[in-house]
């Protein structure tokens, strides 16, 4: 399990950095999606090697991802998929 520093923008449009733990970048993003107080992910950095994860956009819109997440019915399969996926250096 890796630890990540994640710069997020909250509902009041204030930026803050939180730490989160995940097996993959996909799981990390899903963890943040489940935190309703945040609306955007601005930056992700893996703590172990200080590597910044490249985003394909300036920010990740969490509201869009929350709408997709509502369509998921099988949380067990989702968890398996998120933790079994190889880490990608780029995320959308």
Q: How confident is the model at residue 82 (pLDDT cuts 50, 70, 90)?
A: low
Examine the pLDDT at 25 and tell me if it is beyond 80.
yes
What average pLDDT does the segment 9-16 reach?
A: 96
Mode of pairing for the β-strands spanning 90-91 and 51-55:
parallel
Rg of the Cα atoms in the chain? 13
* Alpha-carbon gap, residue 15 to 74, rounded angstroms: 32
Cα separation values, 84 from 20, 52, 79, Å: 18, 21, 8
Answer for the pair 41, 23: CB distance below 8 angstroms, yes or no.
Answer: no
What average pLDDT does the segment 14-19 reach?
A: 98
What average pLDDT does the segment 24-46 reach?
A: 95
> Quick check: helix, strand or coil at residue 29?
helix
Examine the pLDDT at 24 and tell me if it is beyond 70.
yes
**pTM listed for this prediction:** 0.77
């Amino acid at each position: 399990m890796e630890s990540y520093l994640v710069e997020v923008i909250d509902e009041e449009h204030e930026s803050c950095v939180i730490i989160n733990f995940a097996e993959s970048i996909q799981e990390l993003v899903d963890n943040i999606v489940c935190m309703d107080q945040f609306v955007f992910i601005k930056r992700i950095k893996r703590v172990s090697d200080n590597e910044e994860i490249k985003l394909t956009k300036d920010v990740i819109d969490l509201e869009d991802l929350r709408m997709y997440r509502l369509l998921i019915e099988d949380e067990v399969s989702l968890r398996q998929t998120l933790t079994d996926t190889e880490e990608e250096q780029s995320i959308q």
